[in-house]
A and B are shown apart, each in its own frame.
Chain A
Amino acid sequence: MSGDHNPPNRRTEIDAHIADGNVDRAASELRELWRREPGSATASFVSARLDQLRDKLPLSKFKLAILRSFTVEPILPLLRAEAFAYAIEVEIHLGDFNTYVQEIVDAGSSLYRFAPNAIILAVRAGDVAPDLAREFAALSPEAAQQAADRVARNYEQWVHSFRQHSQAVLIIHSLERPAHPSLGVLDSQTETGQSGRIRQINRELRRVAGEVRGVYILDYDALVARYGNAHWHDERKWLMARLPIAADHLLHMAREWTRFLVPLAGRTCKALVVDLDNTLWGGIIGEDGMAGIKVGAEYPGAAFQALQRALLDLARRGILLAICSKNNPDDALEAIEKHPGMLVRAKDFAAMRINWGDKSQNLREIAQELNIGIDALAFLDDNPFEREQVRAALPEVFVIDISGNPLEYAGAVRDCPVFERLSLSAEDQQRTSMYAEQRQRSDAEHNFQSKEDFFRYLEQEADLDPITDLTLARVAQLTQKTNQFNTTTRRYSDAQITDLAKQPDWHIFSIKVRDRFGDHGLVGVAITRDEGDQCEIDTFLLSCRVIGRTVETALLAHLAKSAAERGCQRLIGWFLPTKKNAPARDFYQQHGFVRGETSNSGTLWVLDLKTSTLASPDWIKLNVAAAATTR
């Protein structure tokens, strides 16, 4: 054990960097410290330094309320340090012990005054259902059923009450089944035993979460099981300090919360770039050859198959896969396409850079080819040198830390919060094939004399539809994820979009696009608000897949037409510059808007609807649903 605790040198250096105002260096050293020795002591150190640095660093602010029936205070520094690894600054409101019901039902409670982005309801079975959890033997079968029904109903009422007062996300800890059920092995033979009743409540919780937008379940039972029930709990700390979780597992609780915070704070990655030799397979293809590399159903190849299965699971979540490897491309491609043990093939990768060049340069090119930001890339490589090189050259890339043991690779990918998604759209599930179609389009583009010829050849068709239950999640997701072609970069949750859709003066437009190569899906969103005789564009965004295909003109022309039909004289819109939205900078100007007022945050653009000649390009076939224009 001795020598395991890092000498305080790194800590002293961090404090020196902070004193010198060298905030970027301090931040990267803090993250390095956390990677090397995550735990309670380090978390306190990191958390205290974050208090000094947070206003000087580009962090996503996230307001989190935790309502609880047990002590969580020692977990909070761990949560702050862990969230910081994903560039999130968590501000926490902590409810008092067991006051969650009052806080939820009282619209004027400190919970709602805090205006959280998300709320975690961390309540244990022993507190919310004490009779089921502790006095089960005293309950008749009818009484046990009534108790479970009552608890489920209570949760449902809290959720509905909560949704009336707040649009924030709600994350509910499911209830934990007893480690030693009242009926012993007999308990497992029936659904009406102690475990069965707890399961019943959890099923009801899941149903409610499915019915109310922005409500999610944290499977506490599964979390405890992952680390082992007997190890997770510390009865002495529970009796002494109302802390039910053993010291070793406080970090795991913080990490489970972080799996929700990362997607909620928009810190997810859109693509995972993997190395080949000793990452995707065992051995070095250039030296060991097809017969020598390890990948297959048996050990050691099984470890690499496990990683490949994890990659395929990510692809199904809409995460793009790419390859960055120092190899001869012919050797590598032959192994990918022909090796019998490979589960991923060339078609599963949206981009490949197999060459002897610098990896950070290759990663830049991959981001460009996929049309996503560098900070949307995650990188997996067994070689610590390559990881450090990428970290130093491209600090925006999320570099996954792996040990030298291939058996742990799949878990490292599966546990990584940057790949978590809280909802999936149809677009997510077929993203890789969309990128393959994109490659064909790019190839086609080169063969045309003029842009217009190319646009006509594309045979684009666009549907302008009103927002529906089916498209709502995708619309909210686009507001959360779109950074480049986005005039105002305003982020909306599912619940906020639902709310806006009900306002009579607000209009939400979505555009779906397809062309001769395939279906892009729902790729554009515009949100407008009428105020007197003018219509303000609150949000105008377009997925990067369709930028430069004049789809934006079609959508804007539709907004103008629809505003004019409602009697508006002017269409106005702010452009609020960010680090990333340069592609949308000249958008309004190019479409005949004139410069209006300027503020610290941006420029207002104005289009006079009486004199405007803005029209949709004739090479896009438009299908306008009636409700999108009139509602």
Chain B
Amino acid sequence: MSASTFDEVRSIASDILGLPVARLTADSSPETVESWDSVQHLNLVLALEEKFGLQLSPEEIEQMKTLGATATLIETKLQSTPR
């Protein structure tokens, strides 16, 4: 994943999860971040879809186990979708 996509995903997660950017890493996950519950997971999905102009399937949402994995997923989607 590229640094710029990760930075964007991280700043969106920072807004949604209510944490400073510095507290979030590629390994951050629902297990390590207290505010990352199922409601915030949905909010994160919606914010990413809105920001990047794409739609995520239930299978793809399953893959969002960490912030790093989320950024990789977004990047793959952006490359495969003609924009």
Listed in ascending order, the chain A residues whose CB lies under 8 Å from chain B are 1-5, 7-8, 11, 39-42, 44-45, 48, 73-74, 77, 234, 236, 239-241, 243, 246-248, 250-251
Contacts and interface: CB of A to CB of B under 8 A. Distances in A.
B49 interface: yes
A417 B45 CA distance: 29
B78 A1 contact: yes
B14 A5 contact: no
Given A39-B51, A236-B57, A240-B58, A5 B11 contact: yes
Interface of B: 4-5, 8, 11-12, 14-16, 18, 21, 39, 42-43, 45-47, 49-53, 55, 57-58, 61, 78
25 contacts: A1-B8, A2-B5, A5-B8, A8-B11, A8-B14, A8-B21, A40-B43, A40-B47, A41-B15, A41-B47, A42-B15, A44-B16, A44-B18, A44-B47, A73-B39, A74-B42, A74-B43, A234-B55, A236-B57, A236-B58, A241-B42, A246-B55, A247-B47, A248-B50, A250-B50
Nearest to A1: B52
> Which of A1, A74, A247 has the most chain B CB atoms closer than 10 A to its own CB?
A247
Contacts of B49: 246-248
Given A1-B51, A1-B78, A2-B5, A250 B46 contact: yes
A131 to B, nearest CB: 28
Describe A's contact surface by its main secondary structure. helix
B17 to A, nearest CB: 8
Contacts of B21: 8
A544 B43 CA distance: 47
> Which of A41, A42, A241 has the most chain B CB atoms closer than 10 A to its own CB?
A41
B58 A243 contact: no
A251 B21 CA distance: 24
A8 B21 CA distance: 8
A74 B15 CA distance: 13
A5 B50 contact: no
A243 B8 contact: no
A38 to B, nearest CB: 10
Nearest to B12: A41
Given A5-B11, A41-B51, A44-B16, 13 more contacts: A2-B8, A5-B8, A8-B14, A8-B21, A40-B43, A41-B15, A42-B15, A48-B18, A73-B39, A73-B42, A234-B55, A246-B49, A248-B49
A1 B53 contact: yes
A243 B55 contact: no
A243 B42 contact: yes
Contacts of A40: 16, 43, 46-47, 50
Contacts of B18: 44, 48
Given A41-B16, A42-B15, A247 B8 contact: no
Contacts of B39: 73
Given A1-B52, A8-B21, A236-B55, A39 B42 contact: no
A247 B46 contact: yes
B47 A39 contact: yes
A250 B45 CA distance: 13
A2 B11 CA distance: 12
Give 5 nearest A-B pairs by CB, closest first. A247-B49, A40-B47, A41-B15, A247-B46, A45-B15
Contact of A5 (B16, B46, B51, B58): B51
A247 B45 CA distance: 9
B6 to A, nearest CB: 11
A7 B58 CA distance: 30
B4 A2 contact: yes
A250 B43 CA distance: 11
Contacts of B51: 1, 4-5, 39, 41
A598 B43 CA distance: 51
A503 B45 CA distance: 53
Contacts of A7: 11
A550 to B, nearest CB: 57
